[in-house]
Amino acid sequence: MNRRFRPPTPAPGCESLWPRSVSRSPGSARRRRSHRSKKSQAADTFGAEGEFLSAGKKLLDTGHPAFKAVTAVRGRMLSFWKGITLPYPEPGIRLIRQEDIGSFDVQMTTLKAELDEAVERLDHHYGELRSAARNRLGRLFNPTDYPQPLRGLFAASWYFPSVEPPPYLQQL
């Protein structure tokens, strides 16, 4: 067996915490009743039946440069993770060579710091994004959809569970 994947093989798992508040579909019973009413109004506008429509609302302008910066860092983290590792049958887990663990950890720590800075910049624009959402969404705007502050809502973490490589890698 190739020594790079000798059991137990390190397998960095990667998790990201991303707020659900970028878009929203109906949640609570009260909100669902309100949503049904608004959906019926929308259906009437188009001469359609409300039960055959689905709707959601975009809570933040995801095209705003500060939001794009946050998603760009997240994308770089995921690309790096996938680029230095191999797939593993368990979701969220990938295999890594023993000798790559140190550089992986350093790069992910650097990217996490970039993510934290990008979220901080987004937080500075959050008031303006909420105000723009209030204007765009009209009666659909709900202040409870917008938690304060954003710090802690966007996060990334990684861990190294010990796993057995799948048989196809043991033959390499």
Q: What is the pLDDT of residues 3-61, one digit of tens each?
A: 454 445 567 777 766 765 454 454 444 455 555 667 777 777 777 777 777 777 888 89
**Average confidence (pLDDT) over 125-143:** 92
Q: Classify residue 169 by burial, with Cβ atoms within 10 Å: 0-12, 13-18, 19+.
A: middle
Contact 163, 88 (CB under 8 A): yes
Q: Where are the domains of the chain?
A: 9-29+60-170
Contact 12, 94 (CB under 8 A): yes
Give the whole-number percent of the chain exceeding pLDDT 90: 37
Q: How many CB atoms lie within 10 A of CB 91?
A: 6
Reported confidence tier of residue 134, pLDDT bands at 50, 70, 90: very high
Give the whole-number percent of the chain exceeding pLDDT 70: 78
Q: What is the pLDDT of residues 79-122, one digit of tens each?
A: 999 999 988 888 888 888 888 999 999 999 999 999 999 999 99
Name the strand (E) or helix (H) holding 70. helix 65-84
Distant-in-sequence, close-in-space partners of 5: CB < 8 Å, separation ≥ 6: 95, 97, 165, 169, 170, 172
Report which residue type is found at 6: R
Q: What is the pLDDT of residues 148-170, one digit of tens each?
A: 888 888 888 888 887 776 677 66
- Angle of helix 65-84 relative to helix 101-137, nearest 10 degrees, comes to 150
